[in-house]
Amino acid sequence: MDEASLIARSKNGDKSAFSALVEIYQNKLYRTAYGVLGNSQDAYDALQDCILKSYISIGSLRNDYYFKYWLNRILINSCNDIIRRRKKVIYIEDSDAMGKPDEYDDSSLDIKIALSKLEQKYKLIISLRYYQDLSYEDISEVLNCPLGTVKSRLNYAIKKLRETLEKGGLKEVGR
């Protein structure tokens, strides 16, 4: 069944159609949330919140063509909610990578560290571009900001990542 019919059926309350839509998008959404939040538990929380909110409000989606953008916007809002809650709580260091050395090589850990040093708006742009494989135009639509802003933020984020990685001795990463 194609995505358009799944969306239409979901809007009419078909739970199995909505589950099929979730199957299509959940991995990309998780990668985006993880890229923004840098913590697997928070990423799962944001994903679950996104799925619940989208299920509840899918009937309010005006144009089915924009489903992907609408879903990403819900995810971004869920990530922002988690970030706001984080500011109120003192966390012990995230130990996702600890105890699992086989999952990550040194360069991916360096990239994770470099990403964590970026401001939120730059992490988000990187996540949407490279974890969701969205085009500049799609990112502009999701974030509701001009195309030029998307391009300049992405260029700035990549520049900052390179600078951070070069300081760590990884001069070839990102080139």
Place of tokens 């069944």: 1
pLDDT at 152 over 80: yes
Reference 21, options 38, 1, 36; nearest CA is 1
The whole-number pLDDT of residue 112 equals 76
Reference 31, options 17, 19, 13, 44; nearest CA is 44
Reference 40, options 30, 50, 26; nearest CA is 30
- Asked whether the whole model's pTM tops 0.85, one would answer no
The whole-number pLDDT of residue 9 equals 94
What percent of the chain lies above the pLDDT cut of 90? 48
- Go through the domains of the chain in sequence order and give each one's CATH number: 1-96 (1.10.1740.10), 102-175 (1.10.10.10)
Report residue 31 as tokens: 């990668």
117 or 90, which is more confident? 117
Distance of alpha carbon 143 from the chain centroid: 12
Distance of alpha carbon 46 from the chain centroid: 9
User: Residues 24-79: pLDDT tens digits?
Assistant: 999 999 999 998 898 899 999 999 999 999 999 999 999 999 999 999 999 999 99
Report residue 70 as tokens: 């609408």
pLDDT, the chain, mean? 83
DSSP characters over the chain: --HHHHHHHHHTT-HHHHHHHHHHHHHHHHHHHHHHH--HHHHHHHHHHHHHHHHHHGGG-S-GGGHHHHHHHHHHHHHHHHHHHHTTSPPPPP-SSTT-TTT--HHHHHHHHHHHTS-HHHHHHHIIIIIS---HHHHHHHHT--HHHHHHHHHHHHHHHHHHHHHTT-TTTT-
